[in-house]
């Protein structure tokens, strides 16, 4: 029989979700909205944007889907999961209450305090605060300033430039009423994706993103320019600490509430020189591009896993991982992350060039009037490989990327450098 699923979103993450669902024996039919030129291969794309909550409800009912998988955070913060559950449709992605873990940095800090989870100390500044006094108190390290709203990756500034710090604080207080000034945590970052429901949780293998635009971790912050999984920075001993100090306490805290957390909790980690993990951020969805390298390492039926998490059946679900390495490289449009130039032809996307171990995940792609692929976003696509070593996965991804032509595009040539 198999289930019918609707995937909400249209980036590389959603392409990766569709691919994994298409390989799941438990899934019969895949719909995506709005999708991209890659997701249409797995089923039907629809034209309801992820921001149209009523439209998404209507579409889910019309398609008679068995469950909905939500890619991005915004519809979750807008209460999509609550509304789906109200009409009896299970949702992979938490309800509004828990989506605030990503929607509000202050809410996340308060949750971590309540759960006893290690994270950076912070001050809350508002219009009455003397900014310089606060900056002086933390002047021996870069200042970390965080807006308390969903800001699409533009809500955090890490700077040693006092003028920039003051300006960002002032602007944030003016638009949001307050802002967080956080202790700088030195160390190496990693991402831990934890699938959760009322009954239990499953930690997926840890991964590492590359957030800066250029090689050597230089240049502006982006949504992520490439990732690999597993990330060896998370050793067995650190993994144990993450479970004991962070994931376990968060699960206990979240599952004590009337509304359980159903979906994936993205734990952004900073691991210090002593191997102690701290939470830098929570997201309430899969990371992009972490999703592209994490899902291929799940040996279990991913459709079953996501459905189980939507219906509090995780504790009855056995999840097995592959002993393999995955690496993905993002190809971005000229001008990204500032102002991406879109609408250019992309050559080299023929699926016959892909294989079972190396493939392209579409993100900002669409088709023109004649059916040819064109770029339609900042991050255009990513090339993922799975192999028995990270080096092999890296080589295969770069080889496949070399076959793709997009005028003016850029990518990093050092994905995986910390582990290789």
Cα-Cα end-to-end distance for the chain = 44
Q: Which of 4, 85, 150, 158 binds ligand AMP (CB under 6 A)?
A: 158
Q: Is 274 exposed, middle or buried (0-12, 13-18, 19+ CB in 10 A)?
A: exposed
Helix 105-115 vs helix 248-255: angle between axes, to the nearest 10 degrees?
A: 100
DSSP string, 324-355: -EEEEEEEE-TTTTTS-----BEE---GGG--
Closest CA relative to residue 378, chosen from 343, 405, 414, 329: 343
| Helix or strand holding residue 311 (H, E) | none
Interface pick for ligand AMP out of 76, 91, 135, 144 (rule CB under 6 A): 144
Q: Smallest distance, Å, CB 280 to ligand GLY?
A: 11
Nearer to ligand AMP, 156 or 259 (CB): 156
Give φ, ψ of 288 to 5 degrees: -125, 110
Question: Measured from the CB of residue 174, what is the shortest distance to ligand GLY in angstroms?
Answer: 26
Instruction: Note whether 73 binds ligand AMP by CB under 6 A.
Output: no
Among 175, 162, 152, 104, which residue's Cα sits nearest to residue 131? 162
Assess contact for 291 and 13: CB atoms under 8 A: yes
Number of other CB atoms surrounding residue 371 within 10 Å: 7
Q: Rule CB under 6 A: choose which of 59, 271, 279, 280 binds ligand AMP.
A: 280
> How distant, in Å, are the alpha carbons of 66, 175, 358, 384 from that of 27?
10, 44, 23, 23
The distance of closest approach from Cβ of residue 221 to ligand AMP in the complex, given in angstroms and rounded to an integer, is 7
Which residue, 2 or 152, has its beta carbon nearer to ligand GLY? 152
Q: Among ligand AMP, ligand GLY, none, what binds residue 156 when CB lies within 5 to 8 Å by partner kind?
A: ligand AMP
Q: Is 148 in the site for ligand GLY (CB under 6 A)?
A: no
- Residues binding ligand GLY: what is the number (CB under 6 A)? 7
| Residue 288's binding partner out of ligand AMP, ligand GLY, none, with CB under 5 to 8 Å set by partner kind | ligand GLY
Is residue 287 part of the contact set for ligand GLY (CB under 6 A)? Answer: yes
| Radius of gyration (C-alpha) of the chain in whole angstroms | 21
When asked if residue 102 is in the footprint of ligand AMP (CB under 6 A), the reply is no
Which phi and psi angles does 225 have, rounded to 5°? -105, 0
Question: Among residues 210 and 245, whose Cβ is nearest to ligand GLY?
Answer: 210
Say whether residue 290 binds ligand GLY (CB under 6 A). Answer: yes
Determine contact, residues 5/68, Cβ cutoff 8 Å: yes
Q: x/- site string to ligand GLY, residues 157 to 196, per CB under 6 A?
A: ----------------------------------------
- 328 touches ligand GLY (CB under 6 A): no
Instruction: Tell me which stretch binds ligand AMP (CB under 6 A): 2-10, 180-188, 294-302, 319-327.
Output: 180-188
Work out whether 224 is an interface residue with ligand GLY (CB under 6 A): yes
Compare residues 16 and 59 and give the one whose CB is closer to ligand GLY.
16
- Chain positions contacting ligand GLY, by CB under 6 A: 209, 223-224, 283, 287-288, 290
Binding site for ligand AMP (CB under 6 A): 120, 144, 146, 156, 158, 182-185, 189, 211, 268, 280-281
């Amino acid at each position: 029989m198999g289930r019918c699923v609707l995937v909400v979103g249209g980036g590389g993450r959603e392409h990766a979700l569709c691919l994994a669902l298409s390989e799941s024996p438990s899934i019969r039919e895949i719909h995506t909205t709005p999708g991209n030129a890659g997701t249409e291969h797995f089923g039907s794309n629809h034209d309801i944007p992820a921001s149209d909550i009523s439209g998404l409800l209507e579409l889910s009912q019309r398609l008679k889907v068995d469950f909905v998988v939500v890619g991005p955070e915004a519809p979750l913060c807008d209460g999509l999961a609550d509304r789906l559950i109200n009409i009896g449709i299970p949702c992979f992605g938490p309800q509004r209450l828990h989506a605030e873990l990503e929607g509000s940095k202050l809410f996340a800090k308060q949750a971590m305090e309540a759960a006893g989870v290690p994270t950076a100390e912070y001050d809350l500044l508002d219009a009455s605060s003397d900014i310089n006094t606060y900056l002086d108190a933390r002047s021996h390290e870069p200042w970390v300033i965080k807006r308390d709203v969903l800001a699409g990756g533009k809500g955090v500034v890490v700077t040693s430039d006092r003028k920039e710090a003051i300006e960002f604080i002032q602007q944030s207080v003016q638009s949001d009423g307050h802002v967080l000034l956080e202790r700088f945590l030195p160390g190496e970052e990693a991402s831990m994706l934890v699938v959760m429901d009322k009954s239990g949780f499953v930690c997926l293998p840890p991964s590492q993103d590359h957030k800066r635009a250029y090689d050597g971790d230089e240049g502006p912050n982006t949504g992520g320019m490439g990732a690999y999984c597993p990330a060896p920075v998370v050793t067995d001993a650190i993994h144990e600490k993450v479970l004991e100090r962070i994931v376990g306490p968060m699960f206990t805290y979240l599952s004590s509430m009337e509304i359980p957390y159903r979906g994936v909790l993205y734990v952004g980690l900073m691991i210090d020189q002593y191997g102690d993990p701290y939470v830098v951020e929570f997201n309430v969805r899969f990371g992009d591009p972490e999703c592209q390298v994490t899902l291929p390492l799940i040996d279990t039926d991913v459709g079953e896993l996501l459905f189980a998490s939507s219906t509090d059946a995780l504790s009855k679900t056995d999840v097995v991982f592959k002993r393999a390495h995955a690496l993905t490289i993002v190809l971005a449009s000229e001008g990204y992350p500032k102002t991406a130039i879109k609408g250019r032809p992309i050559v080299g996307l023929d699926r016959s060039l892909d294989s079972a171990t190396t493939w392209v995940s579409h993100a900002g792609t669409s088709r023109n009037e004649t059916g040819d692929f064109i770029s339609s976003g900042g991050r255009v696509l990513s090339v993922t490989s799975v192999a028995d070593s990270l080096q092999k996965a890296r080589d295969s991804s770069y080889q496949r990327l070399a076959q793709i032509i997009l005028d003016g595009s850029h990518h990093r040539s050092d994905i995986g450098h910390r582990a290789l």
